[in-house]
């Protein structure tokens, strides 16, 4: 089932959580809504589910091309997984998963044996077979998460909505579950929208990423598109660490940081260059390029790469560079060393944004 | 040493000194003794006295307060003896009538307050709306109003000179003790009644109103923290899985609040059965409208202290049973929490 949101606005009192947002999710896609807290992503998700009502007259939600404004949450054929799972504490795992089937009117309710079979299959799917009789409090966070997912899938929803699905889990479980969710989506093929504040998670799991900020979607695209071709400075800064070089769009972008940093703020051509740490180049020699001069402040090894923190000698700004271990050893950097900084790739935005 | 109340949870050294607070062992002993003495003098002793007095004429004397036979027919006995037996029989009958009245009034009030309490706790706990704080304060109001004043309120509303006096004094309703089953032959309502009562105050209806007013906050108050802590996510999850509103309430909300609800019902029952002030005003001081507390007072006033204590022992017994149930409930709750089940208060 496809999901389409047209010009949706939702406000709480004076605060507008979602401003005139439009979004199309095609059947079978896995889409991430990513943004900082308060960016309206959860409100958007809950509006699609029917747990929040859009402002009167402000927006339409179409599921499979049909306006669902009048449909209550239970009739939208959606499965919703809550941030804190919202498992029924007084029911066993099996009863939790079976709930959506048991509350059906008797005409469409499967028989006891069928329900037991479906529950068994779902528990297989979430790799928790044999846990039927446990209570939610006896499960780990990751297991609860998967039970919540199984419960939502029991009713065979046409759309799966997940609110911060891995928000409350520790880093390792989180990484495992990401892969698992991706696989599950591949196997089940249900249209899925999930909310996260973790850009890494969004980029890794989703087919398409919608980056939200202050109630609007800043950019929608594949992970590669939004990461490599950010439409706005916000998207650039939000999706991963980035170094800012303020300057003026002048003759040579490589010189911009050096030539006018802070010295001529009213210049009409003022701009900021955004450079990812892995696009920063460090060299011992000036090698002909007009680079920036910086001093090594600290280094830290983070697995396969090494982060080097530099302070530019003229602007005193900090720059983060990410080097492969080979390159790092080649350079043999020591704290206090003076090096030349340049970049392979930069994204330049004219300064009408404040970040 | 058995003075465990203060000592169990603290990490104290063997000499009884708590290194963290520096409190010496004698402080602990003095405080414990003071507590025990206080509870003994003000709670245990009077309670024990109730039962001691109730059984002061033995078990037969105790039973006699509730069931006394009239003088046997055709047996010759002195007039004085005869009169004594007649009086005792009529006294016992009135005592039984008071028990029946209390059961009827108390149960009605509790049922009403359970419905109201769940609704109020739900409204306050799950929704945000204007005037919520005011509503909570209003629910608490009966705690701060003297019961006698509460009774007076109803007299001033529904009494002869009251605001709604004209309507209320002519309001007719069936006497609950006269209701019988008459079947559906030609009636849509299968109950008939032999007797009708008129008016609100000075009738059982007034007593019900007074009792409801006084016991208003108990169920709502014991539910509110639980309902509020529960949040709305589980209900929303149930709704998103296609459950109806009623299914959500019965299968998700109710199991989550069951222990709090049970506790609230128990408190409410004790108070409803034991209410004196409000009931005393609205009952109109007629024997027919006596509840257990009113009857206890009348027996006491007529120097029949043994019968008064016998009847009072019923209320004391109810209190003890409530305490027992509370203990079991607490224990069960702890057990379900340990076992990983829900029902967290």
pLDDT digits (tens, 9 = 90+) for B226-254: 888 888 889 999 999 999 989 999 999 88
pTM: 0.73
Pairing between β-strand A191-196 and β-strand A30-34 as defined by DSSP bridges: parallel
- In angstroms, the CA B255 to CA A88 distance is 10
Q: CB of A345 within 8 Å of any CB in chain B?
A: no
Does residue B120 form part of some domain? yes
Angle between helix B305-338 and B79-126 (nearest 10):
30
Q: CB of A100 within 8 Å of any CB in chain B?
A: yes
Size of interface A-B (CB pairs under 8 A): 81
Please give the pLDDT value at position B56.
92
**Residue B167 in contact with residue B199, Cβ under 8 Å?**
no
Residues 150-179 of A with CB under 8 A from B: 151-152, 154-155
Nearest-neighbour CA in chain A from B239: distance (Å):
5
- In angstroms, the CA B337 to CA B128 distance is 30
Residues forming a β-bridge with A295: A311, A338
Residues 131-150 of A with CB under 8 A from B: 134-138
Instruction: Please tell me the total count of domains within chain B.
Output: 1
Q: Pick the closest to residue A74 from A3, A155, A163 (CA basis).
A: A155
Domain residues of chain A, as ranges? 3-238, 243-350
**Residue A78 in contact with residue B240, Cβ under 8 Å?**
yes
Q: Is the Cβ pair A103, B251 closer than 8 Å?
A: yes
- In angstroms, the CA B262 to CA B324 distance is 13
Which residues in chain B have their CB less than 8 angstroms from residue A100's CB?
241-243
Q: CB of A93 within 8 Å of any CB in chain B?
A: no
Please give the pLDDT value at position B17.
55
Q: What spatial distance separates the first Cα and last Cα of chain B, rounded to whole Å?
A: 33
- In angstroms, the CA B272 to CA B109 distance is 7
Q: Is the Cβ pair B252, A88 closer than 8 Å?
A: yes
Tokens linked to A239: 């999706």
pLDDT, averaged in runs of 10, over chain A (355 residues) = 89 88 91 91 92 87 87 88 90 94 90 92 89 90 90 91 85 83 87 90 90 92 89 86 71 40 44 82 73 84 85 83 86 86 78 49
- In angstroms, the CA A106 to CA A102 distance is 9
Tokens linked to B126: 């799950």
Q: What are the start-end ranges of the E strands in A70-207?
A: 78-81, 159-163, 191-196
Helix (H, G, I), strand (E, B) or coil at A221: strand
Instruction: State phi, psi for A33 to the nearest 5 degrees.
Output: -100, 115
Does residue B107 form part of some domain? yes
- In angstroms, the CA A354 to CA A346 distance is 18
**Residue A90 in contact with residue A98, Cβ under 8 Å?**
no
Which residues are within 8 A (CB) of B295 and not within 5 positions of it... i.e. 6 or more apart? B94, B95, B98, B311
Tokens linked to A172: 């390792």
DSSP secondary structure code for residue A15 in this structure = E
CA A41 to the chain's CA centroid: 10
**Residue B224 in contact with residue B125, Cβ under 8 Å?**
yes
Ranges of chain B with pLDDT below 70: 1-23, 336-345
Residue B141 structural domain: 100-159+200-338
Q: Would the CA dihedral through B255, B256, B259, B260 be positive or negative?
A: negative
Least CB–CB distance from B237: residue in A82, A134, A138: A82
Please give the pLDDT value at position B332.
75
Helix (H, G, I), strand (E, B) or coil at A84: coil
Does residue B287 form part of some domain? yes
DSSP string, A304-351: TEEEEEEEETTT--EEEEEEEHHHHHHHT--TT-EEEEEES--EEEES
**Residue B345 in contact with residue B258, Cβ under 8 Å?**
no
Tokens linked to B75: 């047996």
Please give the pLDDT value at position A319.
87
Q: Looking at this predicted complex, what is its ipTM?
A: 0.77
Q: Which of B241, B261, B340, B342 to mutate to test the interface with A (most CBs of A within 10 A)?
A: B241
Q: CB of A91 within 8 Å of any CB in chain B?
A: yes
Domain CATH number, residue B240: 1.10.3720.10
Average pLDDT of chain A?
A: 84
DSSP secondary structure code for residue B40 in this structure = I
- The DSSP element (H or E) to which B80 belongs, if any, is helix B79-126
Q: Which of A99, A153, A163 to mutate to test the interface with B (most CBs of B within 10 A)?
A: A99
Q: Is the Cβ pair A73, B255 closer than 8 Å?
A: no
Please give the pLDDT value at position B21.
64
Residues 21-60 of A with CB under 8 A from B: 49, 51
Does residue B210 form part of some domain? yes
Does residue B165 form part of some domain? no
Residues forming a β-bridge with A323: A306
Pairing between β-strand B172-174 and β-strand B196-198 as defined by DSSP bridges: antiparallel
Q: What share of chain B is helix, strand, coil (3-state, %, to 5)?
A: 70, 5, 30
User: Residue B335: how many CA atoms within 13 Å on its side-chain side?
Assistant: 7
Least CB–CB distance from B238: residue in A99, A134, A136: A99
- In angstroms, the CA A318 to CA A42 distance is 34
Pairing between β-strand A30-34 and β-strand A208-213 as defined by DSSP bridges: parallel
Q: Is the Cβ pair A134, B340 closer than 8 Å?
A: yes
Q: Is the Cβ pair B341, A155 closer than 8 Å?
A: no
Task: Give me the CATH code for the A243-350 domain, please.
Answer: 2.40.50.100
Pairing between β-strand A347-350 and β-strand A78-81 as defined by DSSP bridges: unpaired
Q: Is the Cβ pair A82, B247 closer than 8 Å?
A: no
Tokens linked to B157: 């509303």
Q: Is the Cβ pair A137, B341 closer than 8 Å?
A: yes
- In angstroms, the CA B274 to CA B312 distance is 10
Q: Is the Cβ pair A99, B251 closer than 8 Å?
A: yes
DSSP string, A297-313: EEEEEETTEEEEEEEET
Q: Which CATH class is domain A3-238?
A: alpha beta
Please give the pLDDT value at position B24.
78
Q: Pick the closest to residue A201 from A225, A182, A229 (CA basis).
A: A182
**Residue A152 in contact with residue B242, Cβ under 8 Å?**
no
Q: CB of A63 within 8 Å of any CB in chain B?
A: no
**Residue A305 in contact with residue A324, Cβ under 8 Å?**
yes
- In angstroms, the CA A213 to CA A355 distance is 12
Q: Pick the closest to residue B228 from B126, B135, B130, B99 (CA basis).
A: B126
- In angstroms, the CA A23 to CA A31 distance is 10
Residues making up chain B, counted from first to last: 345
- In angstroms, the CA B146 to CA B137 distance is 16
């Amino acid at each position: 089932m496809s999901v389409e949101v047209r010009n949706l606005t939702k406000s709480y009192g004076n605060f507008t959580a979602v401003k005139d947002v439009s979004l199309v999710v095609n059947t079978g896609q896995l889409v991430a809504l990513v943004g900082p807290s308060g960016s309206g992503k959860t409100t958007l998700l809950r509006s699609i589910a029917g747990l929040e009502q859009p402002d009167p007259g402000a927006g339409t939600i179409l599921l499979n091309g049909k306006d669902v404004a009048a449909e209550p949450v239970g009739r939208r054929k959606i499965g919703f997984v809550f941030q804190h799972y919202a498992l029924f504490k007084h029911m066993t795992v099996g009863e939790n998963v079976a709930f959506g089937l048991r509350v059906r009117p008797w005409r469409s309710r499967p028989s006891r044996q069928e329900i037991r079979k479906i529950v068994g299959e779902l528990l297989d799917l979430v790799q928790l077979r044999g846990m039927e009789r446990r209570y939610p409090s006896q499960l780990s966070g990751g297991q609860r998460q998967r039970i919540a997912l199984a419960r939502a899938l029991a009713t065979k929803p046409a759309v799966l909505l997940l609110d911060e699905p891995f928000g409350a889990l520790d880093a390792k479980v989180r990484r495992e579950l990401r892969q698992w969710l991706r696989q599950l989506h591949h196997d089940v093929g249900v249209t899925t929208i999930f909310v996260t504040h973790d850009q890494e998670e969004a980029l890794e799991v989703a087919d398409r990423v919608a980056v939200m900020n202050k109630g609007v979607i800043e950019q929608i695209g594949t992970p590669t598109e939004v990461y490599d071709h950010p439409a706005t400075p916000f998207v650039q800064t939000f999706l991963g660490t980035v170094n800012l070089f303020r300057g003026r769009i002048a003759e040579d972008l490589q010189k911009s940081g050096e030539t006018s940093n802070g010295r001529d703020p009213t210049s009409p051509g003022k701009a900021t260059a955004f450079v990812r740490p892995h696009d920063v180049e460090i060299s011992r020699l000036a090698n002909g390029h007009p680079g920036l001069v910086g001093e090594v402040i600290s280094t830290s090894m983070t697995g396969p790469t090494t982060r080097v923190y530099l302070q530019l000698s003229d602007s005193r700004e900090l720059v983060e560079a990410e080097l492969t271990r080979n390159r790092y050893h080649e350079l043999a950097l020591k704290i206090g060393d003076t090096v030349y900084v340049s970049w392979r790739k930069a994204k330049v935005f004219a300064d009408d944004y404040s970040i | 040493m058995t003075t465990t109340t203060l000592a169990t949870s603290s990490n104290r050294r063997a000499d009884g000194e708590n290194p963290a607070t520096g409190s010496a062992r004698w402080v602990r002993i003095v405080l414990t003794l003071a507590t025990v003495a206080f509870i003994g003098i003000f709670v245990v002793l009077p309670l024990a006295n109730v039962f001691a007095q109730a059984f002061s004429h033995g078990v037969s004397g105790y039973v006699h307060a509730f069931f006394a036979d009239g003088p046997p027919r055709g047996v010759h006995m002195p007039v004085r003896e005869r009169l004594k037996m007649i009086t005792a029989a009529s006294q016992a009958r009135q005592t039984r009538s008071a028990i029946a009245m209390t059961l009827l009034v108390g149960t009605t009030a509790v049922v009403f307050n359970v419905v109201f309490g769940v609704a109020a706790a739900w409204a306050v706990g799950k929704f945000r709306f204007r005037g919520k704080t005011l509503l909570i304060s209003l629910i608490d109001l009966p705690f701060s109003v003297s019961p006698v004043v509460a009774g007076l309120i109803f007299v001033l509303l529904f009494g002869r000179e009251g605001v709604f006096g004209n309507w209320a004094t002519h309001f007719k309703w069936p006497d609950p003790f006269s209701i019988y089953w008459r079947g559906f032959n030609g009636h849509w309502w299968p109950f008939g009644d032999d007797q009708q009562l008129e008016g609100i105050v000075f009738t059982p209806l007034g007593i019900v109103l007074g009792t409801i007013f006084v016991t208003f906050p108990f169920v709502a108050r014991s539910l509110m923290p639980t309902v509020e802590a529960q949040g709305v996510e589980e209900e929303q999850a149930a709704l998103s899985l296609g459950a109806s509103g009623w299914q959500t309430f019965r299968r998700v909300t109710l199991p989550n609040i069951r222990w709090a609800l049970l506790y609230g019902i128990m408190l409410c029952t004790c108070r409803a059965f034991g209410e004196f002030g409000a009931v005393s005003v609205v009952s109109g001081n007629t024997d027919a409208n006596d509840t257990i507390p009113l009857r206890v007072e009348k027996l006491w006033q007529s120097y029949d202290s043994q019968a008064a204590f016998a009847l009072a022992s019923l209320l004391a017994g109810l209190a003890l049973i409530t305490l027992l149930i509370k203990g079991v409930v607490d224990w069960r709750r702890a057990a379900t929490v340990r076992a990983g089940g829900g029902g967290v208060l």
